[in-house]
């Protein structure tokens, strides 16, 4: 056994101070990844800094076409929020199909983004929509945020406070879920914005979530399922495991991309 000190800060400043007080301090949001790893003794944090009680951290707001979702907002609250459903139904649908009801009512968008599981759903949405990750010290574009399997460009002591999405675009998401975990074996999020077309893939890459240049080029020329069918999707750099090899996942990328476009 090992001891862990629990902190329940009332502000971001207090949370930042608590994080710096321990050698192996960790932020606790929904705990859907951190707590199981602690139970398995795969993580032994000296301190747990619970951000759920900080005012405003779970708020969801809309300002024109901009959606701002607090880091402690649960998947269920994202799925059920009227502004999310109106401005970006693809994001609401994505949140509604994460895990099971227990996970959706505890897990948080900020926790998912910070953990950057290679099969998580939100990273695909953030990358495809070029979201902005807001922290206690700066703002980070999604293109600069993700840094490989379970890795981000967050610095020590940095806490995600919100994720900002620019909507008003055609967006769609489709995933092929693992039947046990509900994680994406392959998930594809497509977005057509004033800045162009972006396509992000989760669950398939050896190095985590990534953009697919071939699909982006095809959909830029013709936003249709037929355009997807003409794209050669290589298995190179894709994950192979006992759930499916790289060729299987390459085929799934095409199938999920077609479904995402159809749903947009």
Q: What is the pLDDT of residues 151-173, one digit of tens each?
A: 999 999 899 999 999 997 799 99
Domains present along the chain, CATH in parentheses: 5-50 (3.30.43.10), 60-263 (3.30.465.10)
**Residues whose CB falls within 8 Å of the CB of residue 123, separated by 6 or more in sequence, listed in order:** 112, 113, 116, 117, 146, 200, 202, 208, 209
Residue 31 has pLDDT above 80, yes or no: yes
Which neighbouring-strand residues pair with 175? 187
Provide the edge-to-edge strand list for the sheet that holds 5-7. Answer: 5-7, 47-50, 25-28
Q: What is the pLDDT of residue 168?
A: 73
The pTM for the full model equals 0.94
Band of pLDDT at residue 67, cut at 50, 70 and 90? very high
Under 8 Å between Cβ of 253 and 260: no
Which pLDDT band, with edges at 50, 70 and 90, does 124 fall under? very high
Q: How far is CA 114 from the centre of its chain?
A: 8
pLDDT at 1 over 60: no
Check whether 23 has a pLDDT greater than 90.
no
For 41-58, write each residue's pLDDT tens digit.
888 999 999 999 999 999
Q: What is the average per-residue pLDDT within 220-248?
A: 94
C-alpha pair distances (Å), 241 with each of 130, 131, 205 = 29, 30, 12
Give the model's pLDDT for residue 179. Answer: 86
Residue 222 has pLDDT above 80, yes or no: yes
Q: What secondary structure does DSSP assign to 26-38, as a single string?
A: EEESS-TTHHHHH
Residue with tokens 């009512």: 105
Cα distance between residue 234 and residue 3, in whole Å = 48
Is pLDDT of 22 > 90? no
Query: What is the tens place of the pLDDT at every residue in 101-122?
Result: 999 999 999 999 999 999 999 9
Give tens-digit pLDDT for 182-192.
Answer: 899 999 999 99
């Amino acid at each position: 056994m090992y001891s862990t000190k629990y902190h329940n800060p009332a502000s971001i400043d207090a949370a930042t101070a608590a994080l710096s007080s321990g050698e192996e301090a960790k932020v606790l949001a929904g705990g859907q990844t951190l707590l199981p790893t602690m139970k398995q003794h795969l993580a032994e944090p000296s301190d747990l800094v619970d951000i759920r009680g900080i005012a405003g951290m779970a708020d969801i707001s809309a300002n024109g076409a901009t959606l701002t979702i607090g880091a402690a907002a649960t998947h269920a609250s994202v799925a059920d929020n009227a502004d999310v459903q109106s401005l970006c139904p693809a994001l609401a649908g994505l949140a509604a199909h994460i895990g099971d009801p227990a996970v959706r009512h505890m897990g948080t968008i900020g926790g998912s983004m910070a953990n950057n599981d290679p099969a998580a759903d939100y990273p695909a949405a953030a990358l495809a929509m070029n979201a902005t990750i807001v922290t206690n010290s700066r703002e980070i574009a999604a293109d600069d945020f993700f840094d490989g399997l379970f890795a981000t460009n967050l610095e020590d002591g940095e806490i995600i406070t919100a994720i900002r999405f620019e909507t008003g675009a055609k967006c769609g998401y489709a995933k092929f879920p693992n039947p046990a975990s509900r994680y994406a074996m392959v998930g594809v999020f497509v977005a057509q914005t004033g800045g162009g077309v972006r396509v992000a893939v989760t669950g398939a890459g050896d190095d985590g979530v990534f953009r697919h240049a071939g699909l982006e080029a095809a959909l830029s020329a013709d936003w249709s399922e037929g355009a997807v069918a003409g794209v050669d999707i290589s298995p190179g750099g894709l994950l192979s495991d006992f759930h499916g090899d790289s060729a299987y996942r390459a085929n799934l990328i095409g199938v999920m991309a077609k479904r995402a476009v159809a749903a947009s």
